[in-house]
Structure 1
């Protein structure tokens, strides 16, 4: 039986419905179950169930009947499906026309990324190349550790340390980043017990480096900072060691990889992400290509591996 949503207060308009939830509604309608939609989209079934329950609350109607073998649309749900499919077709046509209209590589691209990737990668390497090849493209860097809303809300492209599992997005892993314990060379002769550590605390955002230090170093950091930029600067100042990408060794000739007998550090992944509808828009494609090409240096740890480890 279809559940009955709570009756709205008279005269109140329904809440705004997210287009992503409309697309998810279509996926459930087409696959016939929350679990099938979740598998196709690469997300947890609980995520689909939670978002569809919120979708029904926003509409204040029941659109699904939950059955033991899956889900089927209510009669109202079937009618709504036709409207949403028409919206989908209209949106696709809009994108096709917009992409066809935008022939030149020009305009603003908003890029969401962390401050460390901006300072050590995008600003010195990507932007100069982009400015030379595409002088009519301007870039707005949005630096934050929070994941930005992609599309026309906050940013068109994001550089992320995780692969997105929801939304109609295109994602490409551009580099993998092995990590190692790093310190200033004057600390290289210290034993594991003598060595101080520099930690990073991003508040509600967990980090694999923090988890590694907690499980394997088992020593509270002497200095804790709230950004990777500050962490690297603290290590360069000789305040302690930290688990950093191998590419960090190229930032300063006085930084060395430590051989402390610890397990291999976590491997980080860097992903480019953009809405599918924007991937081939000329200005988006130009920035995407520049990021993909110029950030490859982060993966090149040959200099780091060529240096002898300090003991």
Structure 2
């Protein structure tokens, strides 16, 4: 019988394509991934991966093993989900993945209340912009700004996060829209909905700076670097900022919650889901879905 840990490390290499990338994903060192991969190849008495200077490429045998191993992985995670769902009520660890803007500026403000209500549940929150796989246990629950598409997930739209244009109250061109300069995202985020919305408003006016992180946009706006598009829940509470009127469409992003269908009735997971629904519903800055 093959060692599951060796197979798990092989799956990471196959997906990421490098030993170093797999190590980062698994939160181990490069040498551990290399050792686990070599051990699996020794067990199978065949080469699964060609180790090239800058990448790892699956051999034909490795490709077939990868396809079969993914089924093993799904079964292993299904066992974990079953055990989690059958544990005693309101105890254990629940992992939540959410966009950085919601984690840093919204969720963390409510963690003390959740802990007080559910002391037996350890909530682990990860700020991630990327889509995560609930099937592979990258998280138990995910909050996303686009509808999750994983077929094994149960999804619910919690509401909408409204955006508006903001500038510092000390911005020298506050009352002269023709002189506005904008704080935008860099080219890597050209397809992001809020970037498209902002650029449709800018209409050729100068871009003062490009910043890849929404909290950077907030800080730059506070410092008077230009006009930016910010979530209303984040900017409306800042006394340094002021909404500015503009010609253009209003904009918002949907907030979706997803959970793997095997976990949706787990007591501790249910407690976190109810908590998320409650804090979004009670925040007047979010438009609540019916």
TM range (shorter): 0.5 to 0.7
Asked if structure 1 preserves the Cα contact closer than 8 Å seen for 2:162 and 2:285, the reply is: no
- Residue 277 of structure 1 is matched in structure 2 by 262
Q: Alignment RMSD, CA only?
A: 3.3
Residues 301 and 118 (structure 1), Cα distance of their counterparts in 2 relative to 1, 3 Å cut: closer
Asked if structure 1 preserves the Cα contact closer than 8 Å seen for 2:77 and 2:136, the reply is: no
- Residue 127 of structure 2 is matched in structure 1 by 143
- Residue 66 of structure 2 is matched in structure 1 by 16
1:112 matched to 2:162: no
- Residue 259 of structure 1 is matched in structure 2 by 245
Count of residue pairs brought into register by the alignment: 228
SS of residue in 2 equivalent to 1:277? coil
SS of residue in 1 equivalent to 2:257? strand
Residues 231 and 96 (structure 1), Cα distance of their counterparts in 2 relative to 1, 3 Å cut: closer
Asked if structure 2 preserves the Cα contact closer than 8 Å seen for 1:177 and 1:298, the reply is: no
Q: TM-score, normalised by structure 1?
A: 0.64
Aligned pairs (5 A) from 1:45-56: none
**Which of 226, 245, 251 is the matching residue for 2:212?**
226
Asked if structure 2 preserves the Cα contact closer than 8 Å seen for 1:110 and 1:156, the reply is: yes
- Unmatched runs of 5 consecutive residues or more in structure 2: 1-58
Matched residues in 2 for 1:169 and 1:12: separation? 29
Aligned pairs (5 A) from 1:114-129: 114-125=99-110, 127-129=111-113
CA deviation digits over 1:228-262, x for unaligned, max 9? 111112112221111122222333122211112x1
* Bigger radius of gyration: 1
- Residue 196 of structure 1 is matched in structure 2 by 181
Q: TM-score, normalised by structure 2?
A: 0.68
- Unmatched runs of 5 consecutive residues or more in structure 1: 1-8, 23-87, 303-311
Asked if structure 2 preserves the Cα contact closer than 8 Å seen for 1:181 and 1:265, the reply is: no
Question: Per-residue deviation at 1:177?
Answer: 1.9
